[in-house]
């Protein structure tokens, strides 16, 4: 079961990276080369930097990057502050509170229906994901830990 969220919008935002993170380092090994695929879509958003303290900010970072790709800057801490704890460190953004955070931040999103979709969900998920990407929507993928519903 997967919980995926997308944003609707079209603006672009840029963010300054820490001094030690630069385009040369990020593109080593050909990672910035166009793979010349028959079908592709690239986000105009820039890479970001995840805060490393307080249990990690991967959910807050994924949220922030998705928001930035649509033109809204919301700090990783603001994302955490918009929700309640659900098992992580403080208000760490996890699959169990990401929708609460995005709702409280008044973000318009579309979530994959992981509860109402028949098992196995692989084909339904791939169809849903492709439809989001074709529309140019940012996708933030929240993992589920063993035992979560």
Cα dihedral 13/2/41/68 (nearest 10): 0
Question: Which pair of structure tokens corresponds to residue 31?
Answer: 């990672």
Residue 63: predicted pLDDT: 93
Q: Are strands 109-111 and 3-7 parallel, antiparallel or unpaired?
A: antiparallel
Residue 145: predicted pLDDT: 66
Name the CA radius of gyration of the chain, rounded. 16
Q: Which residue has the tokens 């928001």?
A: 67
Largest CA distance in the chain: 47
> How far, in Å, are 15, 93, 106 from residue 12 at the CA level?
10, 24, 18
Question: Which pair of structure tokens corresponds to residue 50?
Answer: 């995840």
Residue 18: predicted pLDDT: 66
Alpha helix ranges (H) inside 13-121: 23-26, 58-68, 76-81, 98-104
Residue 16: predicted pLDDT: 57
Residue 50: predicted pLDDT: 81
Domain ranges of the chain: 3-9+45-142
Name the pTM for this structure: 0.71
**pLDDT 10s digit of each residue in the chain, 149 long?**
334 444 443 333 344 556 777 777 778 888 778 778 888 877 777 777 787 776 778 899 999 989 988 889 999 999 999 999 988 788 889 888 999 999 999 999 999 988 888 889 899 999 999 999 999 888 888 776 677 66
3 state SS of 46: coil
């Amino acid at each position: 079961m997967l919980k995926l969220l997308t944003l609707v919008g079209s603006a672009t935002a840029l963010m300054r990276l820490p001094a030690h993170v630069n385009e040369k380092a990020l593109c080593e090994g050909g990672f910035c080369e166009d793979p010349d695929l028959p079908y592709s879509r690239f986000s105009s958003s820039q890479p970001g930097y995840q805060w490393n303290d307080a249990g990690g900010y991967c959910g807050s970072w994924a949220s922030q990057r998705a928001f930035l790709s649509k033109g809204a800057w919301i700090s990783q801490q603001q994302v955490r502050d918009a929700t309640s704890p659900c098992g992580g460190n403080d208000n760490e953004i996890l699959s169990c509170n990401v929708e609460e955070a995005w709702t409280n931040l008044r973000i318009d999103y579309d979530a994959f229906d992981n509860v109402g979709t028949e098992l196995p969900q692989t084909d339904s998920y791939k169809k849903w994901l492709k439809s989001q990407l074709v529309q140019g929507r940012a996708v933030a993928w929240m993992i589920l830990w063993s035992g979560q519903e």
